[in-house]
Structure 1
Amino acid sequence: MENIQDIVDTIRQAAEVLSQHPDDASVQQALNVAYRALNQLAGVFRQTGSLQDVNRIIECTELVLSVVPEYHEFCVNLLTDLSIALSQRFSMMGSQGDPNDLNRAVQLAEEDVTATRPGTEERIAALANLNQMLQNRYDHTRNLQDIKRAITVGQEAVEIIPEGWRYTARILHKLAISLGKLYEHTHDLDVAKRAIATAESAVDTAKSQKNEQGAAVVSNTLARILGRRSEQTGNAQDLDRAVDILIETVPLIPVHTRDYVAGLSYLATLLGIRFEQQGDVEDLNASIPYTKRVLDLMSDRDGDRPAQLYNLATRLAERGQYTGELSDLNDAIDHGQQALSLAPQTHPERTNWLRGLAQFLGMRFRMGEKNLQDIQQAIDLSRQAAETVDRDDTQMRAALANALSNLLKEKYEYDDEVAGLNEAIDVLGQVLQGGLSEDRPERGALEFGLGDVLRARSRLPGKATDLEKSREAFQRAWASLNSPLTIRINAAMRAGDIAATWAKEYLKSNDSPDPSVLLRYWTEASTDFDNAVSLLHALSPRHMQNVNKQQMLKRFAGLGAHAAAAFLNAKKDASYALQQLELGRGIISGLVLDLRTDLSFLRGEHPKLADQFSRLRNMLDSGHITATLSSKGPSCEAGAQARRQAEKEFKLLLTKIRSEKGFESFLMPPTVEQLMDAADPDPAVVVNVSRFRCDAFIVEKHYIRLLELPLLSLEDIEENTKRLKDSPDSLPSVLEWLWSSAVHPILDALGFDSPLALQVDSWPHIWWIPVGPLNSLPLHAAGYHTKHSGETALDRVMSSYSSSLKSLLAGRSQKMPQYDSNPINALLVSMKSTPNRSPLRYAELEVNMLEKLCPALNATPIRPAQHKADILTQLSRCDIFHFAGHGTSNALDPSQSALLLRDWEKSPLTVEDLRNERLQEKPPFLAYLSACSTGANEVLGLVDEGIHLGYACQLAGFRHIVGTLWTVSDPFCVNVARKFYETIRDEGKTDAAVHRGLHLALRELRDVQVSAKTRGSGTDVVKAAVPDEEGEEMDVPGREDGNGNHDGKDGGRTAQRSGSRKGEGVGEELEPSMNSLWVPFVHFGV
């Protein structure tokens, strides 16, 4: 690099020559020297980017400009260069920038235009520069006149562009940016439309001129305008298109350029917005590293750094709220405070950042230790922000009102200060009635917030009328069509709850209630719940990963059950209520079942449509794939973006398929007739549980009938579930309560009103479909077992379980291979020893016993390596999968419940892994999971989603599954498996043999246990039940280890470290508990 001082000296010498006004030849020569030297200085600045160098450029350019003859064309270049340099200096100075630099830059650009001849390329360039300088000043001041003037001069430049000019795309781009900024200021959709059209024209022009990088830069602007319009209108198509554009074009822009940084920054912003609107955590997880990358590429003094710090703070806060991690919230607050400290007091985004920081502090108050300082500081910051907001900025006023009202309500819940509630109601009312457009997406959140605070105030003396106002606000929030789905669903649920509350209070306060009044209340409630249910499936799109769907759906647990109960109270038909119940639960598994539907009929009639379906299914039903950040930018090969596009195509394909004759109902929700098909040949009973009422929907071949269960209540179910968890010895009394309140009346209604002899050939069979918390209770085991009276489910019917009628129908629709007549493979896994878990001596005996039975089952035993990859590889080749070992149930994320193999600590075999298997083309016959809690889901908000190891096997394609509702212990598992497989050996590999095999095993174990308990001590029971070394000759089938320990906290086939399924050392003090023997074993399937 040439010595900078030499360059500066050269410029000064040239200026000295010019100042003396020599002849024209000397002037031209001096100008040429100055021009070259100034260009050299600009080159130095491009390499260093230092403030010192831009100051030298300004100083030297001003010097030359002061002595150049006014008539000389070189003045135009100097005016342009000086205006740009002044604007750059302002930007580089950050919060210390001098606004006079911007003012002078605009003044010089105006002079530049005047100095050019109309209609020339020089005039176009000067107009473009003036457009940019006005934009830069607008960015700092938000003076509307500046951006309007920028558009005027930008349009003037466009109008005089000669055809085919190489800079046309650049001029169009500047105009599009100006229009975009005007749109952001005014929210005028006509301006947005014009801005988008201009940007699209610029992109097309750049592409036609083979300027790929230029097209990519312009595409950044197009994406920004689309994103802004999406924020205003809630249009998801605009948002998706904007993200698509940026993912495609950002990698085409050179890294370390401002255009690259701007594109990556806005991609991160849009992904964050899409997460807020649609809840897909993949978007959030991608946006955070993108924003960090942007900050890494910025200098500490970059004027845009505060904005990026705030963007990162917002995303970290959202992740903290999503995961519950306070560390993310703490980091968000730190970054938000940094943004505010770096930005000047006059920064146009300062109001928004104060609001954001207030929200972060409010989140920490809510999720943390309720530090009063956090909530008070949050309220103070919100009020401070409200004082600075422009009265015409309705969008920001709405955001501030929403934030402040939420904070005031939270503080009221902490300190009961009614003044806070009153202020929240006033703040929201002012904004809602102050000119906020009806179609603004923010309106739903504001109406929801108003409903929330009015509902809280309605509980105060003399404020009962606020409850009606609250419901009206919730209904308006539901009707806000551009608001996020989560807000609309929640609003409809709240409105329904209020109407239901009115009905219950009216019934309670009137000895002779008017049926028409009750009907009106329940009709209103049912309408609201119907509205909420109708949006649930839209909330859980196919492209979203299952774990993200789980997080979304947890918020609306019980909605389907409450909706069904409200429909019944509104005197709606039972079959309609059942249809709505089915719609409101099992959503994740339902989407999987849709994708894995049998295509044989479609393939026979329309093979091309079937091929398209298969292609899209493979993309949507794939495992976890996400966007990544390479050194050049975002990469989305086969990732989330491709899945979104696949879903769009899938929806269009469904429409096409349904237009074909005979396929009108393809993948539509089951009709009433189809629901009844689920009860052929055996009845299905859906036991609905709601705080409004409890009922059994009895589904038989030709009709659906309703059985009210007045002795069953949600409160009793929750109490008995807790009692059973806290004290396993309470199981007998829980089973008796379950019999009296639910199972006995159901069986009586079906005509199963007396016990049957064990030797009866044709036992009745029933499908149980429990709803909500009833999923964790053993309906099949209900009854008075110690009375020897036959008053038990086990003495009257064979029982199986399904997660939904749709699941039952899907299983029945599968082609059933000839399991019985053809040789089969049995995949046998015995985890006698599991790393860092207690040894399971009898697991090996159990599998050895089954291996000996394999010849009689016409089965070839396969004993694979005990690693996840080996098991998954063998699953597609097996017909029976038998696992004996440790299982673990994940109480935070049920999709991570797992079977533990040798490599479980690094790679457990999870529900998600099994669910991702697709074995429907050759469906295996049986998965027997002889481990703990393989049929259990401990996450209350997801109990209706069927997320456990047993159902994961069914979704993978297994026809039958034997699992467990809770913990089981080691030595007694052998007898259950023996009796089960011996029945299949004797009766064939049929559906009926599976039902009968498990029933006989449990009945036999129950009889022996009850008899032994009647005769003597639990020690005798345990001693008699311990198998010999061959796993044979067990006198008493049971289900505890030799120390009387249960699976779970104390032992058994769980993921506990100690006290597990040992069998040796029979305990002398602990009597075996009933729940560790036969009760937990259950059948899922068809």
Structure 2
Amino acid sequence: MTSLREAQSFRSGPIALIAETEADDSHEQLFDDGVALTKQYEATRTDLDCLATAICKLRRVVELTPKDHPDTAPRLSWLDASLFLHFETTGDLQDIAEAISVQETALELTSEGDPNRAVRLANLGASLWSRSERTGDLHDLVEAISARQRALELTPEGHSDMASRLGGLGASLRSRFERTGDPQDLAEAISADLRALEHTPEGHPDMAWQLTGLAMSLWSRFERTGDLQDLAEAISLNQRALEITPEGHPDMARRLANLGHFLWARFEHTEDLQDLAEGISAQQRALVLIPEGHPDMALRLANLGNSLRSRFDLTEDLEDLAEAISAQKRALALIPEGHPDMALRLASLGTSILSRFGHTEDFHDLAEAISMQQRALEITPEGHPDMALRHCNLAVSFEARFGHTGENQDFTEALSHCRTAATSTFGPPHIRLQAAKHWAGLLEEFNPGSSEILTAFDTAIRLSTLTTTLDQVLENRYSQLVDTSGLALQAASAAFALERVDKALEWLEQGRCLVWRQLTSLRTPLDDLRRHDSHLAESVVKLSKKLEGAGSVRNAARSAMLMSEKVSLEDQARDHLRNAREWDELVTKVRATPGFERFLEPSPWHTLLPYLPEAGHAIIVNVDTRRCDAIVLSTGRSTPLHIPLPSFSLAKCNQYRQDLTNQLQAHDYRERGGSVATVLEGVDKERGIRKVILTKNRETSVQDILQGLWTDLVKPVLQALEIEKTAPPSTEVAPRIWWCPTGPLSFLPIHTAGIYANEGAECLLDYAVSSYTPTIAALTDRVRNARPIEKATSGLFMTCQPNAPGASHIPGTTKEVQFIENLVTKEGLRSERLEGSTITPAICLDSMERFNSIHLACHACQDIANPLDSRFLFHTGSLDLLAILQRNLKNADLAFLSACQTGTGAEELPDEAVHLAAGMLAAGYRRVVATIWAIRDEHAPHVATDFYQYLLDHRDPADGSAFDGTHSARALHHATQQLRIRLGDNSDQSLLSWIPYVHFGY
């Protein structure tokens, strides 16, 4: 964690104490002189001798004042103030020790109820905090927080010191977060900083201090979460603070330096060169303004060094690196022994010297870098959040030496430090996760047969779940997962190489669909727990609803918010964090209950077997750079079946995906009147993609893609399972297959793989009926929790929205639901149809509770950043997924989403099931019909009619009055085949018309 502190003390200040002075003492002039000199120095910060004289005078007057004199406490407070100012300038620990002692004596002399007690508590807190910043003493910091909290409790609402005391408490809480990593402290700090700012009127001299304090806290949260919105606001606040800081003000340098560091941090994430240039400029200007010997000099030099090293990484200009190392060495020389920043300075300098070794290969540099990283590790206190980072730095250094010497000891050291960092219980999860991935990578490259690879990946998969905790809103959880996307696939590939199919299956289940699994875990049926302990079960239900709602809050642009809105938002975030912590404690309590030891834990692979569907196969296909494999789980088979796919590859998968994307874009453009010659040129202009001109010679057709999937992936699986072609093809007797694709394969239509040329034509549809599932557990959960359909809810609710505001006109939806209604009514089944303005989101939700099946013929909007905000568009508003999840749809059975792209995922997160279909499964529906790209308005009514006709024709004769989606996968198989027959050929245009319909679930 980067150390960056705003040394603003948030003391009430000497001016607040002058009112305590009484003029009846014979030493009045001596005291007045000391006060005047202290105030003079505070205003200018230029003449240290002036302050030293003030301290001497105030010490003398304190010595001459009897302890029981009424002016003793005020005079002690002024001596404390002058000593504190001297410490701020020189960093002399004797000054701050004396200041604390003096202020403690003043407090002893201050009775309960004395109006000056609050200010003396606040000042004592400021001194203790300042000493803890210099020494790293956690006890001082705890005492500082306690004193500041007590001062705040004694401060009446509206008091002029309220803002400064809130800001002081925020600074102390932020410091404790930096030492312990407890996010609750940071949430409390941000809340205090916001309230401080809210209590500071425009034009107040403390405004810049309060702005800077909030900026620092938001910066700290950015370091923890990576939320760029926090960083952007921190930069904005710091810029505002600078704008109102007068030229020559002693805090100008500090604020310039902080702004420079913030801009550098944003460059590290966005690679915006302007940020880096402006950041370095601000840091250089700050250095010019800092007087020699100032305690802030070391920090400013070190941060400038980091920025210059970043510029070197970009430009490879060795002069930048030389300047960076020079600045960092000067910073190190200025740090006194025992300073809490010493380890960070050593580590940063070591990293820069290692960078120089990478270009010069001077082994003296490498030895020096390792030595510095070792010293940094030695002086980092046990339990410090930076401990894991120290080990990571050493691992990189030893790996560099191993790469040049080949010495086994260096490799062993690198592994050891990676292992220690990854398995540490302290430090940010993303640092430990990087260490675990590095640990696994080293073993795979240099010791590929080691069983320790399994331990390393086990650790990495566990840590990946900690980067997306429930205290974050969904949007942030998904952004965190972008960096770990594909980890489970890499782990599975390693497990296959070590012939551990069981581990591969376990990791593919546990390391994918993390947020989806969190959503479903919050909705886990609790019947067994309720029978055992109804109170505990009810606590779980109440808290899960709170977390579900809080997690769906959308990240809004805070810059445009009113201060009261920001305070409210941060209060919500603080409550969310507290609820997440309470959830962890509650889950631990449930797991301590006999019989519930694995409550909400991912199920071991073998527990999936008893709940597999009776007839069919669940197949998870792993796609990785090194190999591709399938794992099959089948009823009656006691172990997973491993099917290597040597002819398939990630490169092929990505190429098929790109080719299909091109075809879809071309198809869409043709539908809107573009010529073949200009199809991709037009797409390029509209979407800003790389320009590619398709020609008949170079074009990869949809048929080519489907044939490749068939030859390299699907047929080898069918052969291994000994599934024979049905002759003639029969929807009723064909076996079921549930596909669980991974990575970019999630975007390809496996269910229609085949050869569609007239000669040698065959396809998967001739062998099996296909469905998809986000994970195998998602499928088995539906089998495990299957319930008979309640007669009261049996039926179909339909709505069509041909003219939703902001969407194109889709007249086919009206025809679609009319066809369906005629069928259902004819069969005497319960149904209801509402369309246009007669249906509202609230009415639709009520209908979803009253009917076990729903057909939505409308436009849909998928929100990848916040899936719970994905929605169906109605004439009178929109129905979002969160609202659906919040309803008790315990009898939900079938959802037919006749809208475009309701089963399409997110390109950056292919394994997170970020689409409406998965959301409806999470809401409780057992099966969902969706689409993976746009569907044709003229075809949708016929597909829907054939689908429902099949369901009605295959009802259970024993209960013909029930509307049941059990045969929905076979019904969709039949309906799309009927459309295929109507289209009359296997041209790409025809294929693209019926392929997008897909079935999810049981």
1:537 equivalent among 462, 465, 473: 465
Quote the Cα distance in structure 2 between the aligned partners of 1:734 and 1:545.
Answer: 38
Uncovered stretches (5+) of structure 2, i.e. residues with no partner: 1-11, 665-699, 956-962
Q: Which residue of 2 aligns with 1:939?
A: 907
Quote the Cα distance in structure 1 between the aligned partners of 2:341 and 2:388.
Answer: 15
Quote the Cα distance in structure 1 between the aligned partners of 2:80 and 2:455.
Answer: 54
Q: Which residue of 1 aligns with 2:553?
A: 624
Q: Which residue of 1 aligns with 2:830?
A: 858
Q: Which residue of 2 aligns with 1:993?
A: 967
Q: Which residue of 2 aligns with 1:715?
A: 651
2:587 equivalent among 649, 654, 658: 654
Q: Which moved more, 1:271-280 or 1:722-731?
A: 722-731
Matching of residue 734 in structure 1 with residue 668 in structure 2? no
State the Cα deviation string for residues 732-771 of structure 1 (Å, max 9, x = none). 2332332333322333343423325344634321211112
1:401 Cα offset (Å): 5.3
Quick one: structure 1 residues 205 and 642, their matched pair in 2 at CA, closer, same or farther if it must change by over 3 Å?
A: closer
For the pair shown, the structure with the greater C-alpha radius of gyration is 1
Uncovered stretches (5+) of structure 1, i.e. residues with no partner: 1-48, 59-63, 92-96, 505-517, 1019-1071
Secondary structure of 1:768 counterpart: strand
2:323 equivalent among 380, 383, 387: 380
Quick one: structure 1 residues 811 and 867, their matched pair in 2 at CA, closer, same or farther if it must change by over 3 Å?
A: same
Q: Which residue of 2 aligns with 1:795?
A: 766
Q: Which residue of 1 aligns with 2:536?
A: 609
- Work out whether residues 592 and 621 of structure 1, in 8 Å CA contact, stay in contact via their aligned partners in 2: yes
1:497-536 equivalence runs, <5 A: 497-503=441-447, 518=449, 521=450, 523-536=451-464
Quote the Cα distance in structure 1 between the aligned partners of 2:322 and 2:779.
Answer: 53
- Work out whether residues 802 and 811 of structure 2, in 8 Å CA contact, stay in contact via their aligned partners in 1: no
Secondary structure of 1:228 counterpart: helix
Quick one: structure 1 residues 719 and 163, their matched pair in 2 at CA, closer, same or farther if it must change by over 3 Å?
A: closer
Quote the Cα distance in structure 1 between the aligned partners of 2:818 and 2:655.
Answer: 42
| 2:794 maps to amino acid | N
Q: Which residue of 2 aligns with 1:5?
A: none
State the Cα deviation string for residues 610-658 of structure 1 (Å, max 9, x = none). 3322332222111316786626983347621111111112122222333
- Work out whether residues 729 and 767 of structure 2, in 8 Å CA contact, stay in contact via their aligned partners in 1: no
Secondary structure of 2:582 counterpart: helix
- Work out whether residues 620 and 740 of structure 2, in 8 Å CA contact, stay in contact via their aligned partners in 1: yes
Quote the Cα distance in structure 2 between the aligned partners of 1:747 and 1:347.
Answer: 74
Matching of residue 824 in structure 1 with residue 790 in structure 2? no
1:278-293 equivalence runs, <5 A: 278-279=225-226, 284=231, 287=234, 291=238
Q: Which moved more, 1:879-888 or 1:981-990?
A: 879-888
Quick one: structure 1 residues 149 and 394, their matched pair in 2 at CA, closer, same or farther if it must change by over 3 Å?
A: closer
Quick one: structure 1 residues 732 and 858, their matched pair in 2 at CA, closer, same or farther if it must change by over 3 Å?
A: same
State the Cα deviation string for residues 890-909 of structure 1 (Å, max 9, x = none). 8x8584996785899xx9x6
Quick one: structure 1 residues 382 and 483, their matched pair in 2 at CA, closer, same or farther if it must change by over 3 Å?
A: farther
- Work out whether residues 594 and 667 of structure 1, in 8 Å CA contact, stay in contact via their aligned partners in 2: yes
Quote the Cα distance in structure 2 between the aligned partners of 1:482 and 1:719.
Answer: 42
Q: Which residue of 1 aligns with 2:619?
A: 685
Quote the Cα distance in structure 1 between the aligned partners of 2:284 and 2:717.
Answer: 62
1:131 equivalent among 74, 80, 92: 80
Matching of residue 1080 in structure 1 with residue 993 in structure 2? no
Matching of residue 784 in structure 1 with residue 727 in structure 2? no
1:689 Cα offset (Å): 2.5
| 2:35 maps to amino acid | D
Quote the Cα distance in structure 1 between the aligned partners of 2:112 and 2:805.
Answer: 76
1:186 Cα offset (Å): 1.8
Quote the Cα distance in structure 2 between the aligned partners of 1:404 and 1:633.
Answer: 39
| 1:87 maps to amino acid | Y
Q: Which residue of 2 aligns with 1:963?
A: 930
Q: Which moved more, 1:967-976 or 1:456-465?
A: 456-465
Quote the Cα distance in structure 2 between the aligned partners of 1:737 and 1:830.
Answer: 38
- Work out whether residues 145 and 173 of structure 2, in 8 Å CA contact, stay in contact via their aligned partners in 1: no
Secondary structure of 2:641 counterpart: strand
| 1:85 maps to amino acid | K
2:575 equivalent among 605, 628, 642: 642
Matching of residue 588 in structure 1 with residue 542 in structure 2? no
Secondary structure of 2:619 counterpart: strand
1:598 Cα offset (Å): 2.4
RMSD: 4.4
Quote the Cα distance in structure 2 between the aligned partners of 1:547 and 1:420.
Answer: 46
Aligned length in residues: 927
Quote the Cα distance in structure 2 between the aligned partners of 1:868 and 1:638.
Answer: 32
Q: Which moved more, 1:973-982 or 1:135-144?
A: 973-982
1:383 Cα offset (Å): 2.8
1:996 Cα offset (Å): 1.0
- Work out whether residues 128 and 154 of structure 1, in 8 Å CA contact, stay in contact via their aligned partners in 2: yes
1:976 Cα offset (Å): 2.5
1:955-1034 equivalence runs, <5 A: 955-988=922-955, 989-1006=963-980, 1012-1013=985-986
Secondary structure of 1:589 counterpart: helix
State the Cα deviation string for residues 696-719 of structure 1 (Å, max 9, x = none). 222234523131314233333234
Quote the Cα distance in structure 1 between the aligned partners of 2:182 and 2:793.
Answer: 57
Quote the Cα distance in structure 2 between the aligned partners of 1:901 and 1:408.
Answer: 58
1:258 Cα offset (Å): 6.9
- Work out whether residues 860 and 873 of structure 2, in 8 Å CA contact, stay in contact via their aligned partners in 1: no
Quote the Cα distance in structure 2 between the aligned partners of 1:75 and 1:494.
Answer: 69
Matching of residue 565 in structure 1 with residue 530 in structure 2? no
Quick one: structure 1 residues 1078 and 401, their matched pair in 2 at CA, closer, same or farther if it must change by over 3 Å?
A: farther
- Work out whether residues 131 and 151 of structure 1, in 8 Å CA contact, stay in contact via their aligned partners in 2: yes
- Answer 1 or 2: higher relative contact order, Cα 8 Å, separation at least 6: 2
Secondary structure of 1:992 counterpart: coil
| 1:705 maps to amino acid | P
| 1:624 maps to amino acid | V
Quick one: structure 1 residues 901 and 772, their matched pair in 2 at CA, closer, same or farther if it must change by over 3 Å?
A: same
State the Cα deviation string for residues 511-538 of structure 1 (Å, max 9, x = none). xxxxxxx2xx2x1222111111111222
1:430 Cα offset (Å): 1.5
State the Cα deviation string for residues 633-689 of structure 1 (Å, max 9, x = none). 833476211111111121222223333444333222213343224413343112222
Q: Which residue of 2 aligns with 1:427?
A: 369
1:309-388 equivalence runs, <5 A: 309-315=256-262, 318=265, 322=269, 332=279, 336=283, 339-340=286-287, 342-344=289-291, 346-359=293-306, 370=314, 377=320, 380-381=323-324, 383-388=326-331
Quote the Cα distance in structure 1 between the aligned partners of 2:937 and 2:112.
Answer: 85
Secondary structure of 1:437 counterpart: coil
Quick one: structure 1 residues 221 and 816, their matched pair in 2 at CA, closer, same or farther if it must change by over 3 Å?
A: farther
Q: Which residue of 1 aligns with 2:69?
A: 120
Quote the Cα distance in structure 1 between the aligned partners of 2:346 and 2:271.
Answer: 25
Quick one: structure 1 residues 820 and 383, their matched pair in 2 at CA, closer, same or farther if it must change by over 3 Å?
A: farther
- Work out whether residues 676 and 700 of structure 1, in 8 Å CA contact, stay in contact via their aligned partners in 2: yes
| 1:388 maps to amino acid | A
- Work out whether residues 946 and 974 of structure 2, in 8 Å CA contact, stay in contact via their aligned partners in 1: yes
Q: In percent, how many aligned pairs have the same letter?
A: 25
- Work out whether residues 475 and 491 of structure 1, in 8 Å CA contact, stay in contact via their aligned partners in 2: yes
Quote the Cα distance in structure 1 between the aligned partners of 2:270 and 2:773.
Answer: 31
- Work out whether residues 684 and 766 of structure 1, in 8 Å CA contact, stay in contact via their aligned partners in 2: yes
Quote the Cα distance in structure 1 between the aligned partners of 2:399 and 2:781.
Answer: 43
1:351 Cα offset (Å): 3.4
1:842-921 equivalence runs, <5 A: 842=812, 845-853=815-823, 855-856=825-826, 858-865=830-837, 876=848, 880-884=853-857, 893=865, 895=867, 901=873, 913=881, 917-921=885-889
Quote the Cα distance in structure 2 between the aligned partners of 1:751 and 1:819.
Answer: 40
Quote the Cα distance in structure 2 between the aligned partners of 1:376 and 1:640.
Answer: 45
- Work out whether residues 252 and 286 of structure 2, in 8 Å CA contact, stay in contact via their aligned partners in 1: yes
- Work out whether residues 405 and 425 of structure 1, in 8 Å CA contact, stay in contact via their aligned partners in 2: no
Quote the Cα distance in structure 2 between the aligned partners of 1:408 and 1:927.
Answer: 60
| 1:929 maps to amino acid | L
State the Cα deviation string for residues 1040-1076 of structure 1 (Å, max 9, x = none). xxxxxxxxxxxxxxxxxxxxxxxxxxxxxxxx44641
Secondary structure of 1:786 counterpart: coil
Quick one: structure 1 residues 421 and 1006, their matched pair in 2 at CA, closer, same or farther if it must change by over 3 Å?
A: farther
Q: Which moved more, 1:430-439 or 1:130-139?
A: 430-439
- Work out whether residues 272 and 283 of structure 1, in 8 Å CA contact, stay in contact via their aligned partners in 2: yes
Quote the Cα distance in structure 2 between the aligned partners of 1:586 and 1:328.
Answer: 35
Quote the Cα distance in structure 2 between the aligned partners of 1:889 and 1:635.
Answer: 28
- Work out whether residues 109 and 126 of structure 1, in 8 Å CA contact, stay in contact via their aligned partners in 2: yes
TM-score by length of 1: 0.75
State the Cα deviation string for residues 921-941 of structure 1 (Å, max 9, x = none). 35544433344433222424x
1:500 Cα offset (Å): 1.0
